[in-house]
Every structure is written in structure tokens, then in C-alpha cells.
Amino acid sequence: MNPNSWQDWIKYFEAKGYTCYAPAYPFHKGNPADLRAKPDPRLGKVTFDQVVDVYTKFIQGLPEQPILIGHSMGGAVVQKLINNGLGVAGVCIDTAPPQGIFTLKFSFLKANLPTINPLKGDSVSIPDVNWFHYAFCNMMTIEQTQIEYDKFFTPESRNIPRTASAGQAKIDFKKPHVPLLFIAGENDHIIPASLNQKNFDAYKDPSSLRTFKQFPGRCHYLCAQTGWQEIAEYVSAWIK
């Protein structure tokens, strides 16, 4: 996904008076259909650290520290930025796990292995709509999934999740932190709710605020799935 997928959330929070930014990962900026048709070959080498570096520099250029919201791998980026002392609060939605947080649940393995497959080298990952339906949109029809795929699905670097799990997404779970909200979709295949709970439970500082919320009947695509406003409203209330 790229910043195009956040436009409804941007409008929602701007209407509440927030200034919103959605900077892209390296080589993710543009129309998703164009990116799928001609992916930048440099994308294949992008690592988790490079993504974190992009957001670190962006945050350092802002007039004040922001509230960070990230979905999936973006949730892991939020955790890393917070761990590095950036941001006044973090919202991690269906977050990819930091180093050391793992599950052997079948859906997690089935959805993730095609992307991180070491036999694929540094090739750019462009899964088809059937993968997208299983991994992201399993509570939606295939027809609905196709619409969302056409609008928002972008090529991805296999090295972002590889390097995240290999150590670049390491978190000091004992370190005090600003408020963190973890949101899970009950029926998420690619990042099961139980994995989000495990991630949440890993944080150990008793003086730091953290909240876990699971939404029933939601898949990994809950930020755009019908009824996404319920999640946005919960996030807004939590921030206040």
C-alpha cells in the first residue's frame, strides 16, 4: 500500500482539526496502477532501516512531535520510531511484529512466506489479487477485493519484512515509552490478533501507558473495510 490508502483517514482527522501527513516509503509514491505496471527495480533492495530513516528525517523537519499512526509494517515502523524517542504517541494497527515476536499460526505463515521467500532474492514483490484476498481482505468478497486491489495495491520490497525480523525492528521492551495503542482485527490472516496481543504484552514498563483493542469481524484491511470509521473514531477518542 502507499499514501493513497490513507486519504479517508486524512480527511477524517483534518475535519477534527489535526494537521495530517502521509509520506511514502522509498519508491512507493505515485499511482498504484502505474507502480504495478512499472515498479522501480531499486525498490527490491529497500530495507526496514531505510524506511525508518525516511520517517525519522521527516519527523525531525516538523514544527512539533507528531502522533504516529501506522498499519501493518507501518505499525512496526511506529514502534521503532517511538523506541527511538520520536512521536508523542503511537497507534499500531494490525502491526507487523518487531524482532522476536512470532507465531506459527497457519494463516500467518501462508500469507507471509510468499513475500519473504529467500529464493526470490531482491526481486520486487507483486502478489496477485488472490493473495491480497487471503492475506488482507478475507472478510470481503473477491469482487470487493479486486476493487481495492486496483485502487491501492502497490509493489513491495521483500527486504523490508526480512530485515525487520532479522534485527532492524528490534525494540527495547523494558524502556519507558509514550502512550501506545495496539489495534487488532479479530479475523486478520496475515497478522493474527493473537500476534498483536503477544506484541502488546511484550512491553514491560509499568509506568508507560498502553492499550489493546480488538475489533470483532475485522480483517487486515480494517482501515478501509466497510465500517472503517469505527476504528478511526476509537483512535480519535483514545488520542484525546
H or E element at residue 93: strand 89-93
The domain that contains 169 carries what CATH number?
A: 3.40.50.1820
Averages of pLDDT over each 10 residues, the chain, 240 residues: 97 98 97 96 97 98 98 98 98 97 97 94 97 98 98 97 97 98 98 98 98 98 97 97
Res 14: pLDDT: 98
Res 36: pLDDT: 97
Res 44: pLDDT: 97
- How far apart CA 77 and CA 53 sit, in angstroms, is 10
Q: Give the bridge partners for 214, in sequence order.
A: 184
Could you report the per-residue pLDDT of 173-222, keeping only the tens digit for each? 999 999 999 999 999 999 999 999 999 999 999 999 999 999 999 999 99
Domain count across the chain:
1
Cβ neighbours for 206, distance < 8 A, ≥ 6 positions apart: none
* Domain with 126 in it: 3-239
Res 7: pLDDT: 97
- How far apart CA 240 and CA 83 sit, in angstroms, is 22
Indicate the pTM of the whole model: 0.97
Res 225: pLDDT: 95
